[in-house]
Chain A
Amino acid sequence: KAGVTQTPRYLIKTRGQQVTLSCSPISGHRSVSWYQQTPGQGLQFLFEYFSETQRNKGNFPGRFSGRQFSNSRSEMNVSTLELGDSALYLCASSLGLRGNTEAFFGQGTRLTVV
């Protein structure tokens, strides 16, 4: 079966712009989590959605937001981009809520802010 699909794979944006990233989880998976990966900070948790509701949130500013649709697809949005937002954004899907079942990652979206 198809894995986790993230689009787009690469993005270049200018400071101050906003961006929307998309994640389609594995079929049947209802939980989608988002992570930011940078060389300096490693993998950091952004938020998790389950059944269209945000269930958990990491320590990121309000410029980072997300949502989940009824088909479990999820989007995350970053507004007023800063240079420091340049990172690999990863989403992971799992059957149940985080922490108790296998979580599978997509290939990520590489965001570069210039």
Chain B
Amino acid sequence: GESVGLHLPTLSVQEGDNSIINCAYSNSASDYFIWYKQESGKGPQFIIDIRSNMDKRQGQRVTVLLNKTVKHLSLQIAATQPGDSAVYFCAENGGSQGNLIFGKGTKLSVKP
């Protein structure tokens, strides 16, 4: 098992329900944000991105909302499926000169 370390917040939802995963970012200069999904044993998978000139962007079953005033990002997953079970990370760019900075992640668990 894993050694002592990060205790990821966990979100448990019923299959078919909507999921909302939240993220507080740190740098007010960040102008580009990405959500990633990471399944066990795999690398992070790009889900959706948003630039700071937008406050909402929709993809297939996913919506990202950006609130720059409070430096908050959220990922909404519609009709959550068991295959959505994974750890979700938000990432910010720290301003265009910065590398991607990752949040600690949220573990989504979908109950059938």
Contact = CB atoms under 8 A, between A and B. Distances in A.
B4 interface: yes
Contacts of B44: 43, 90, 92, 105
A42 B46 contact: no
B43 A39 contact: no
Contact of A100 (B2, B32, B101, B103): B32
A19 to B, nearest CB: 18
Given A58-B99, A99-B93, A100-B96, A106 B43 contact: yes
B5 A105 contact: no
Nearest to B93: A99
Given A39-B5, A42-B105, A105-B43, A99 B89 contact: no
Interface in B39-91: 42-46, 49, 89, 91
25 contacts: A39-B6, A40-B3, A40-B5, A41-B6, A42-B102, A42-B103, A42-B104, A42-B105, A43-B89, A45-B99, A45-B100, A45-B101, A56-B98, A98-B98, A98-B99, A99-B94, A99-B96, A99-B100, A100-B32, A103-B91, A105-B43, A105-B45, A107-B42, A107-B43, A108-B42
